[in-house]
Amino acid sequence: MGIPTTEKDREQVAGLAKGLAVIEAFGKSGDVLTLSEVARLTGLSPASARRCLRTLETLGYATTSGRYFSIAPRALRLGHAYLASNALPKAAQQAVEHLTELTHEAASVGVMDGTDVLFVADAVGRRSLSAGLGTGARLPAYCSASGRVLLADLPDDEVLALLRGTTFRRLTPRTLDSVDAVLEEVRKARAQGYAVVDGELELGARSIAVPVRTARLAPPAAISLALRDPASTVQESIERLLPLLENASRRLASWG
């Protein structure tokens, strides 16, 4: 007996799903890829990966040089479609630029995407030029301030499900890399209304994030500040920056 097919399954296009998986594989690698690397990253067979790559090449979304494939500039159309059709990125960009003017620190707005935070707006401060993430950048939710405040908006059972599906890596000696330890920090963020990550993503880097709560934001968002080699203590950073972050969150929540 075959596996029952739901109406939702029948409406899906398998080829489209495979093609998008191939495009995302390049985002994960950050470089050119061979056919075998694409197959490994996507879980597709080499034959299926080849068909996807050749189709993307024909449509102008990929290029090839010898045995190596890369994404073509035309792929930017996919990201632009989101930026052009969603009000959040424009409002978020205005919010982070204003926040950076006030603090001279790098500011970002992110949303959850699987087990990562996907950043939809960013602005870089003069004192922290190397701390900017860039629109479209991703960070693991478990060890980022934005990720922890976004996880804090979920009930514990959903948080646990996401964390159990996460591949933990110790990015620095300070990185929390267990479900229990991260869950404790998520609960702390839920109780206090903000999260601070100090040296877990990168030694010398500190970030502070607060949620942006409004019915018009779907999915929910987080706004954060990133400090590079801060001279202040964690508590001093909180006292200086948290009120400005909370005000920026309120401004973004009431946009439009």
Q: What are the DSSP calls for 177-194, one per residue?
A: -SHHHHHHHHHHHHHHS-
Residue 1 inside a domain? The answer is: no
Helix, strand, coil shares of the chain, percent, nearest 5, are 50, 20, 30
Looking up tokens 């996907």 gives 118
- Quick one: 239 and 135 in the same domain? yes
Residue 236 inside a domain? The answer is: yes
Residue 63 inside a domain? The answer is: yes
CA angle 57, 27, 108 (to 5 degrees): 135
Per-residue confidence of the chain (256 residues) as pLDDT tens digits?
344 444 445 556 777 888 888 888 887 666 788 888 889 888 899 898 899 888 888 888 888 888 888 888 887 777 666 666 666 777 888 899 999 999 999 999 999 988 999 998 888 865 443 445 667 788 999 999 999 999 999 999 999 999 999 999 999 999 999 999 999 999 999 999 999 999 999 999 999 999 998 766 556 899 999 998 888 999 999 999 999 999 999 988 886 4
Residue at a domain's end among 58, 77, 96: 77
- Quick one: 71 and 107 in the same domain? no
Residue 2 inside a domain? The answer is: no
- Quick one: 179 and 245 in the same domain? yes
Which phi and psi angles does 179 have, rounded to 5°?
-60, -45
Which phi and psi angles does 140 have, rounded to 5°?
-65, 135
- Quick one: 208 and 108 in the same domain? yes
3-state secondary structure 67-109: CEEEECHHHHHHHHHHHHHCHHHHHHHHHHHHHHHHHCCEEEE
**Between β-strands 138-140 and 195-198, what pairing exists: parallel, antiparallel or unpaired?**
unpaired
- Quick one: 21 and 90 in the same domain? no
Among 40, 240, 154, 95, CA closest to 163: 154
Domain count, the chain: 2
- Quick one: 129 and 202 in the same domain? yes
- Quick one: 133 and 245 in the same domain? yes
Amino acid symbol at 73 = P
Residue 40 inside a domain? The answer is: yes
- Quick one: 152 and 91 in the same domain? yes
pLDDT of residue 211: 95
Which residue range(s) make up the domain with 166? 86-253
Three-class DSSP category at 149: helix
- Quick one: 208 and 230 in the same domain? yes
DSSP state of 131: G
Q: What is the pTM of this model?
A: 0.74
Structure tokens, 70: 């890369």
* Separation of alpha carbons 217 and 203, rounded Å: 32
Contact between residue 109 and residue 95 where contact means Cβ atoms under 8 Å apart: yes
Which phi and psi angles does 138 have, rounded to 5°?
-130, 150
Residue 66 inside a domain? The answer is: yes
- Quick one: 41 and 116 in the same domain? no
Residue at a domain's end among 53, 77, 101: 77
* Separation of alpha carbons 65 and 148, rounded Å: 41
Residue 97 inside a domain? The answer is: yes
Q: How many CB atoms lie within 10 A of CB 7?
A: 6
- Quick one: 182 and 140 in the same domain? yes
- Quick one: 96 and 213 in the same domain? yes
Residue 105 inside a domain? The answer is: yes
Residue at a domain's end among 35, 58, 77: 77
Give the domain CATH number at 166: 3.30.450.40
